[in-house]
Amino acid sequence: MLCLPVVVSLVCSSLVPAAVAADSAAQDTPYNSSTVNISDPQATAETQALFAALRDTSSKDIRFGHQQTTELSITGAKNGDVYEMTGKYPAVFGFDAGEIVRASNSEADPSAAIEKMVNDIKFADAQGGIITLSVHWNNPVTGKDFSDTTEAVSHILPGGSHSAVVNRMLDAVARVAQDAKRSDGTPIPIIFRPLHENLGTWFWWGATHASTAEFKELFRYIVNYLRDIKGIHNLLYAYSPSGTFNKDTTDYMASYPGDDWVDVFGLDDYTDNIPDWIPRVVRDLGVLEKVAEKHGKITAFTEFGRRDIPKSGKDYGHYDFYSKLREALAKDTSHIAYMMTWANWGDSSSNFQSYTPWHGSDGEAEFKEFCSKQFSSNGFSKEC
């Protein structure tokens, strides 16, 4: 998404013992580690267990996720809009390392931002949440934000004029992964989604700003640097282009970095036209999961959302959006691990976006119903 300021269920999570997310999710899906087609042969046991559990999830048990769910909100609620409405946290917590890498790019000390993010990740993990981490990298050549599409990729690859800049950025990401540990010292598994929506043109790493070969080389370099040079073994890596492919995955697979660098086949897609969008995106995900299954990988709806919720929160209709999407995915796909919508924030100015209802909005009652139905059907009292 452009803007920035589990147990198996598609529902939101109240207090759960730490470490229950990956371990409990894997209990019903025993696996031999030799069958886990994970990108990191040295991945921690917990990371392998999370991979296996996500890969084997039935779409009927798809998890719901929300970006920056405890960090940002419409109402200013301490624990976020989803929790304020439902009393439960999402099963998947999304974080973004943009602030951390921006500090690194400018050679400022990112320690304070890293410490805050690590504490937030520990909190989410303690609730039983699964962690995802995206990065809205600022342009490493100009220092401007992620939407500055000045050519950069060719300059940050090994031997390029700005390769040291991307290394500093990755060092900051590595510190997050290294410091995010449970009380017993176990590294917390994190799904890292480094260069998302690359088929769009709005980011400096996107289509028209780098060749397909350059994109794949950069993605592989990021994984190699974190996994092989920094020795980080608690990361799963997600590849998540944007938009529709109308049953044809040629473009999607053209920039696919390869099985040795990817664990999650993701898709980012948003809508202003819900009735037409749901069947189309479900069809796309059904096609995508078949490709992922051939590669032994996870399929996830890494970002989704409706962009038409007004600041007033009134009279915007299609309040059953989340339920309709869940039902369609359960009916017409097999193994979508999670669906994560984007962050909420807003004030009295034009700086507003919301991808879930919030307390007091017209969509609140239906969202609570969506949450409680899934919680009841799966028999879990801890997640939404």
User: What's the total number of domains in the chain?
Assistant: 1
- DSSP bridge pairs for 237: 192
The owner of tokens 């974080």 is 95
**Distance between CA atoms of 86 and 309, rounded to whole angstroms?**
19
* Residues 6 or more apart whose Cβ sits within 8 Å of residue 260: 39, 220
How many other C-beta atoms are found inside a 10 Å radius of the C-beta of residue 198? 24
| Best CA proximity match to 298, nearest among 36, 25, 21, 73 | 36
What integer pLDDT is reported at residue 349 of this predicted model? 61
**Distance between CA atoms of 246 and 82, rounded to whole angstroms?**
32
Q: Give the three-state DSSP class for 62.
A: coil
Q: In the numeric block, which tokens belong to residue 192?
A: 């890292």
What integer pLDDT is reported at residue 383 of this predicted model? 58
Quick one: how far is CA 383 from the chain centroid?
A: 18
**Distance between CA atoms of 48 and 64, rounded to whole angstroms?**
21
Q: In the numeric block, which tokens belong to residue 366?
A: 């239906």
| pLDDT over 70, % of the chain | 87
Whether 98 is covered by a domain: the verdict is: yes
Is residue 298 a contact partner of residue 37, using CB atoms and an 8 Å limit?
Answer: no
Q: In the numeric block, which tokens belong to residue 265?
A: 């086949």
Range of the domain at 311: 12-378
Whether 295 is covered by a domain: the verdict is: yes
**Distance between CA atoms of 145 and 147, rounded to whole angstroms?**
6
Where in the sequence numbering do the catalytic residues fall?
197, 303
Collect the ranges in the chain with pLDDT lower than 70: 1-35, 347-350, 374-384
Whether 383 is covered by a domain: the verdict is: no
Whether 384 is covered by a domain: the verdict is: no
Whether 5 is covered by a domain: the verdict is: no
What integer pLDDT is reported at residue 103 of this predicted model? 84
Whether 6 is covered by a domain: the verdict is: no
CATH code of the domain in which 109 resides:
3.20.20.80
What integer pLDDT is reported at residue 351 of this predicted model? 82
Whether 315 is covered by a domain: the verdict is: yes
Q: The pTM is what?
A: 0.91
| Strand (E) or helix (H) holding 314 | none
What integer pLDDT is reported at residue 71 of this predicted model? 95
